[in-house]
Amino acid sequence: MARFHMALTVAVLAATLIGSTDLPLASQAAAPAPSFSVVEQDIASLQRALRDERITSRQIVEQYLARIDEDDQRGLAINAYLSVNRKALDDADRLDRERREGRLRGPLHGIPLAIKDNFLTIELPTTAGTLALADFSPGVDAYQIRQLRERGAIVLGKTNLHELASGITSVSSAGGQTRNPYDLERNPGGSSGGTAAAVAASLAPAGLGTDTCGSIRIPASHNNLWGLRPTHGLSSRDGVVPLSLSQDVAGPIARSSADLAELLNATVGFDEADPVTEASRGRVPRSYLEFMGDSSLVDVRIGVVTPLMGEASADEEVRRVVDRAIDELEGLGASVGDHDMLGLESVLRDTSAIAHEFSFNLQDFLARHKAPVRSLDEILRWGLYRTELDGVLRRWNETQERESEAYRTTRARRAAAKTFVLESMQGRSLTVLAYPTIRRKAARIGEQQEGSNCQMSATTGLPAISMPAGFTDDGMPVGLELLGTPFSEGTLLRIAYAYERQVHPRRAPRLIVGR
């Protein structure tokens, strides 16, 4: 597994990452329970097995650790994980004791999860995929990690990502290239590609990612998974390495829509450390699972965004798959119609805030947590990054002012774009907008990935879910994205669940079945 691009830092980081986290851990574990396999099991299935005493949390963790050793670090060499939690077995033992004593914390009790390596975690370094943060371990948990632990979840390990969450193919100086379990020669999407590849390959039942412009949704699309970008302000980003605070959100990636709901239940809501979550007050339901169960979508109106469906010949194979998935939604009673959204391309142009915010947001985060580097400029000067990212990182580092006329113009364009999208939906009484998550299937490793439709949700702050739409003729997953109105996650999950019950779109990678 080729992890690093400089010989000197190879040795340094290997000592740091592997020495401190004992990657892999399978050799420490007892033999997995033979009567129950974790492969393709969702959270509810794992909980039923735990309740019925067919397996323990320790045995679940042992199985995942063995699979990580076999298929991630060796064998298929998917390379989804940067580090594995050596305390995971101890955590599982503690939660098993609590279960025996009748103390259950909820539906996540004893469930191990894959965590993107830009969330701070107490027991593991947080590299954000860059060599510059190889030994960055401030000893605190991000808000969402704390919430998960309180509900009994276990941090199984930290997953690879596109370095500093800056792209969509999941390659980094700290972890190398993560590979797609459906075709090891292709990328898994990004930037949350490590989490998605781990979940798709049954190296974890579910996990967390972040999304600044597609970084949850694109990996979900490329790995036949469900991924939700929440409304900006629904979930705290405290303790997450930032890319652009105007666009950053953190959310779940899973093999089922119900698992998305469970992880949302555990992680959303007001956090005084992240002021944007003030908007979530009074907007969080008792449980997102309450929206799921009705298979009829007769009250749902879907607008198919024709400018995002793809007109190039290279877009055609994905478009065919997405069209069939939309037909399935129509078959469930939804009203479906084309929506040309004239002017959308112009409205979304120059609305990304990343170039204006990244260097300053990162600098503030590094200072607050006393990181070993102080700025993006230092990372660039020291050469502690993947060389393929040189161009984009240097462009983002050129921004000299926190506040500029160009930045004010971008903010104004973002506000106008949100108004445009909401008014276009209201004008046609639309429940959601629909389009391909990404118009091209996963590109081969080393090739440019094209076709992203990430910007509308990222610009407007509106929630969007990527659902498995099907497969291309050569077996690559395709995603259908639905975008809703503010805080309509329950509606998105309701549509997703009805579709899932009807279509059963989840299919494990051929390379994984039977292993």
What is the three-class DSSP state of 62?
helix
What phi, psi does 233 have (nearest 5°)? 110, -10
**CB of 56 within 8 A of CB of 111?**
no
Closest CA to 437 of 322, 271, 267: 322
Q: Report DSSP letters for 421-461, one per residue.
A: HHHHHHHTT-SEEEEESBSSPPPBTTSPP--B--HHHHHH-
CA dist 209 and 203 (Å) reads: 15
Distances (CA, A) of 442 to 76, 192, 279, 437, 479: 18, 14, 35, 12, 11
CA dist 246 and 267 (Å) reads: 19
Alpha carbon 366 to its chain centroid, in Å, reads 22
CA dist 37 and 512 (Å) reads: 13
What is the three-class DSSP state of 38?
coil
E strands of 230-312, at which residues? Answer: 249-254, 301-305
Count CB neighbours of 66 within 10 A: 18
E strands of 315-374, at which residues? Answer: 335-339
Token pair recorded at residue 389 = 């990212």
What is the three-class DSSP state of 95?
helix
What phi, psi does 118 have (nearest 5°)? -120, 10
Closest CA to 194 of 85, 84, 114, 131: 114
Closest CA to 150 of 87, 120, 107, 97: 107
**CB of 43 within 8 A of CB of 259?**
yes
Count CB neighbours of 440 within 10 A: 21
Which residue, chain included where needed, has tokens 């940067």?
Answer: 82
Each as own residue / partner, the long-range contacts of residues 138-142 (CB below 8 Å, 24 or more positions apart, any chain) are 138/369, 138/370, 138/371, 140/239, 140/369, 141/239, 142/236, 142/238, 142/239, 142/240, 142/250
Closest CA to 256 of 502, 40, 434, 112: 40
Residue 100: which H helix or E strand, with range? helix 88-100
CA dist 120 and 89 (Å) reads: 20
Token pair recorded at residue 404 = 């500029």
- Residues designated as active site: 116, 191, 215
